[in-house]
Amino acid sequence: MLVSQILKDKGGSVFAIAPHLTLGQVCNELEQKRVGALIVCDGDTVVGVVSERDIVRAVARGGATCLDQPVSDHMTREVVFAEPSETVAILMTRMTDRRIRHLPVMIDARLAGVISIGDVVKCQIAEAQHEAESLRSYIAAG
């Protein structure tokens, strides 16, 4: 399955925040949206990703006072993107190799969605179930 198909199925909603928001505000957004990461945008430009992991690292390094600091001080700046034409297998490899769980997708220089590791796993399970059902049908048809 391709990234474009995953986005078509799940929708293209993206939860983005501004780089000046504090980590405390980010924590509230993560909780309200029930997601593990937010895309950090300065206008229409993706400038970073902030995940729960980034926040844990910030607190471990600087204590609770870091929650008053801007997300731009603690976000992941080297954003790794997914292309609409890429397959789930490519995404799994990239996510595993880079130890990341969220890949923003750009289409025509516009943030079109985010693929999470949960989306990838869900897709892999659906494909495995479809293959198993196809095999059962083939065997039953004799």
Domain boundaries, the chain: 3-141
pTM: 0.86
User: Is 47 in contact with 40 (CB distance < 8 Å)?
Assistant: yes
Which superfamily, per CATH, for 3-141? CBS-domain (3.10.580.10)
Q: What is the identity of the amino acid at 22?
A: T
* Paired residues of 2 in beta bridges: 87
**One digit per residue, pLDDT tens: the chain, 142 residues?**
899 999 998 887 889 999 999 999 999 999 999 999 999 999 989 999 999 999 999 999 999 999 999 999 999 999 999 999 999 999 999 999 999 999 999 998 889 999 999 999 998 898 888 888 888 888 888 6
> How many Å apart are CA 140 and CA 7, to the nearest integer?
34
Reading across the β-sheet that carries 45-51, which strands appear in turn? 16-17, 37-42, 45-51
Q: At what angle do helices 23-33 and 52-62 cross, to 10 degrees?
A: 150
CA distance linking residue 80 with residue 110, whole number of Å = 15
